[in-house]
Amino acid sequence: MSAAVAVAVKKIAIYILGDENKRGKLFVAVGSIIAGFLGLMFLPIAVISSIGSMNIEQPDIDKSLFTESALFESLDSEQQAEITNIQNQGQAIEYAMANAGVRDQTIKAQLIYMSYFDEVQNFNAESYADLFVVAPNDSDLIAAINSTYGLDIDYDEFVRTYTFVMNSTINAFMFTDTGTKNCADLAAWADNAYISGWGYMNGFIGERNETDRIRYADNAGLVLGYLNYSPTDKKFDSDYDTLVYTEQGGIDTMPEVVGIGLFDGSQHGIYVGNGEVIYSSESLGYVTKENVSNGSWTSWCTYDGVTYPQEVTDAIQSVNEDSSSEN
């Protein structure tokens, strides 16, 4: 990748970490080409939405000169080849991540590649995807990527960049079935909210606040957001305005199924597996994750509008039978 293109691409990922003045200066310097570059690459939704939402005075430019086709045609043949290669590698990464069973981490994989791989030779998307399969956490993932490709990615820098990008969009790769509202995707929705750094704000269900452009959800809103979000249209509707739930039994009778609701008498959490629950905490001010055993959860519940596997139906029946026998 040429120095000009490489620097521009890397700055796109890094500039969001600085203060507003720095972001403004960078936008004036490269703002007129960023939209075209990103339109040709593989993260248009995540990054263009981030750029477009910032309170920055944009330079006065002739936008007709910076359409995707016009920008691409203005590059020399070497630069066009480099842009095409980035685009192709992004698509290859998407395919490789899906085949490796880690489709939900596609944006993460593409962002790391776009931001740091400008000097990497002989890139292989399948081998790259394998690193995401075996890494138990993001810290180990970054360490493995650094070791494998001879890079020096700063973990804290990566976390800041990734959190910002994820907060600016809804991860389309997390859904296993966009045609239904199911408990597995509810768990993925909650995990995505946690990873993306959603805050707590009363009355929100996952939308971005127009003032600070951060996504928020209140406690019930974390579930309502999933019920109201259309992955096809990529927008929230208003089909569900009240969270309707049924307490099914004590926490000790909960089946090991991700997406089951937990309740402590006042707030809801979503079980995401490995003994962990995610919920939007008013006292903390953000979506958080904790061990179920560390909280005050007393019962498990199901939500109207969400489908559950047979295992949950069986558990409900078992709880009801136990309750009847005691009476």
How many Å apart are CA 139 and CA 250, to the nearest integer? 36
Q: Which pLDDT value is given to residue 83?
A: 74
The beta-carbon contacts of 295-299 under 8 Å, at least 24 apart in sequence, are: 295/262, 295/264, 295/269, 296/264, 296/265, 297/251, 297/262, 297/263, 297/264, 297/269, 298/250, 298/251, 298/263, 298/264, 298/265, 299/247, 299/248, 299/249, 299/250, 299/251, 299/262, 299/263
Query: Confidence class of residue 305 from pLDDT cuts 50, 70 and 90?
Result: very high
The residues, any chain, with a CB within 8 Å of residue 50's CB and separated by 6 or more, are 16, 164, 165, 168
Single-letter amino acid, residue 77: S
For residue range 94-133, list pLDDT tens digits in order: 999 999 999 999 999 998 998 898 889 889 999 999 999 9
> DSSP string covering 266-284, please?
S-EEEEEETTEEEEEETTT
Q: Summarize the confidence of residues 54-73 as an average pLDDT.
A: 54
The residues, any chain, with a CB within 8 Å of residue 154's CB and separated by 6 or more, are none
Check if CATH label 3.30.70 holds for domain 173-326: no
Query: Confidence class of residue 17 from pLDDT cuts 50, 70 and 90?
Result: very low
pTM of the model: 0.75
Query: Confidence class of residue 72 from pLDDT cuts 50, 70 and 90?
Result: low
How many Å apart are CA 318 and CA 327, to the nearest integer? 14
Q: Which pLDDT value is given to residue 108?
A: 93
In terms of Cβ atoms closer than 10 Å to its own Cβ (0-12, 13-18, 19+), residue 301 is middle
Q: What are phi and psi of 171, to 5 degrees?
A: -70, 105
The residues, any chain, with a CB within 8 Å of residue 307's CB and separated by 6 or more, are 180, 181, 182, 183
Domain with CATH 3.90.1720 in the chain: 173-326
Tokens encoding 218: 């209140």
Q: Which pLDDT value is given to residue 285?
A: 97
Q: Which pLDDT value is given to residue 279?
A: 98
Q: Which pLDDT value is given to residue 64?
A: 55
Q: Could you tell me the strand order of the sheet in which 245-250 lies?
A: 245-250, 299-303, 261-263, 268-273, 276-281, 286-291
How many Å apart are CA 125 and CA 107, to the nearest integer? 14
Q: How many CA atoms are closer than 13 Å to the CA of 67, on its beta-carbon side? A: 3
How many Å apart are CA 294 and CA 312, to the nearest integer? 24
- Say if CB 189 and CB 261 are below 8 A apart: no
For residue range 265-274, list pLDDT tens digits in order: 999 999 999 9
Tokens encoding 173: 């790769």
Q: How many CA atoms are closer than 13 Å to the CA of 236, on its beta-carbon side? A: 20
Q: Summarize the confidence of residues 188-207 as an average pLDDT.
A: 96
The residues, any chain, with a CB within 8 Å of residue 318's CB and separated by 6 or more, are 253
